[in-house]
Amino acid sequence: MKKKIRGTRNRPRLCVFRSNKHIYAQIIDDINQKIITSSSTVEKVIKEKIKIPYNCNAARSIGQHIAQKSKVLGIQEIVFDRQNKIYHGRVRALAEAVREEGIKF
């Protein structure tokens, strides 16, 4: 059985969902059960920057975008939730981009 990953008030949860065509990232407040901010390859701003939405470069740009949004909101530390996907490829590219922007997890 999978252990439930939960964020705290000081460390909200960064949930990453990867489909075959797109990648989505959400920062979630588990205590109030609200999505604080999100970013994905279906957003108009991101679509203009990237050509292919299902490669590692697209995942890196989503990671940078979600990290910048979270820094504006004052979030410096998160709990990383990869939803049972292996830490490889697009999930890894997104996580490394978030770390490069200065978010700790």
- The model's pLDDT over 48-103, given as tens digits with 9 standing for 90+, comes to 999 999 999 999 999 999 999 999 999 999 999 999 999 999 999 999 999 999 99
User: What confidence score (pLDDT) does residue 2 get?
Assistant: 61
The Cα 42–Cα 86 span in angstroms is 23
User: What confidence score (pLDDT) does residue 50 get?
Assistant: 92
**What residue segments make up the domains of the chain, in order of their start?**
13-100
pLDDT at 104 over 70: yes
pTM: 0.93
The Cα 27–Cα 49 span in angstroms is 22
DSSP H/E element including 15: strand 13-18
Quickly name the fold that domain 13-100 has: Nucleotidyltransferase; domain 5 (3.30.420)
